[in-house]
Amino acid sequence: MRAAVLSISTSKARGEGQDESGPNLAKLARLMGAEIAAVEVLPDDRELIEARLRHWADSEDCDLILTTGGTGFAPSDVTPEASRAVIERLAPGISETIRAASRGHTRHWMLSRGVAGIRGRTLIVNFPGSPASIEQAGMAIADSLPHAIELLAGHHASHA
């Protein structure tokens, strides 16, 4: 499994502070057995996010693209819109599970607008931008993502 991690934060992309969420997401991907193709920090720019999602899915053949940040209610939060623009099929159970896992940790869990879906044979998953949410939500979906990747690759594993 090959994964790309995109950390979406205009301030971090400008060099204002250290990105913690991207490295935390890469660590989660490695725990799931992924080889990390890239960890990028991007500004909250819808066209740029769409372009990088297409690049990692189409040109670099990543099995998994994980994003962090840009999923809230602020006018600059455009990660879900950028993701939906490139996703061909939604995977709502993943994003629902991420929100449900966040419920016990933050009273604002329902304000995350992150989505998950499929482009070709690539799974794209939006995480909130909080570094703590990566572990909390990530552990809730970590067992299922490798199986999802196997199915996308055409390996019809047992559903037992």
Pairing type for strands 2-8 and 122-127 reads unpaired
**Alpha helices (H) along the chain:** 10-13, 21-31, 46-54, 79-86, 92-103, 131-141, 144-152
What does pTM read for this prediction? 0.95
Arithmetic mean of pLDDT, 21-47: 97
Residue type for 108, please? H
Contact (Cβ atoms closer than 8 angstroms) between residue 118 and residue 91: yes
Contact (Cβ atoms closer than 8 angstroms) between residue 105 and residue 136: yes
Asked whether residue 135 carries a pLDDT value surpassing 60, the answer given is yes
| pLDDT per residue as tens digits for the range 80-133 | 999 999 999 999 999 999 999 988 887 878 889 999 999 999 999 999 998 888
Residue 41: closest CA among 12, 70, 18? 12
Tokens describing residue 17: 């502070």
- CA dist., res. 45 & res. 154, Å (int): 33
160 — pLDDT class (breaks 50, 70, 90): low
Cα torsion through 136, 156, 6, 44, rounded to 10: -90
Query: What domains sit in the chain, N to C, each tagged with a CATH number?
Result: 2-152 (3.40.980.10)
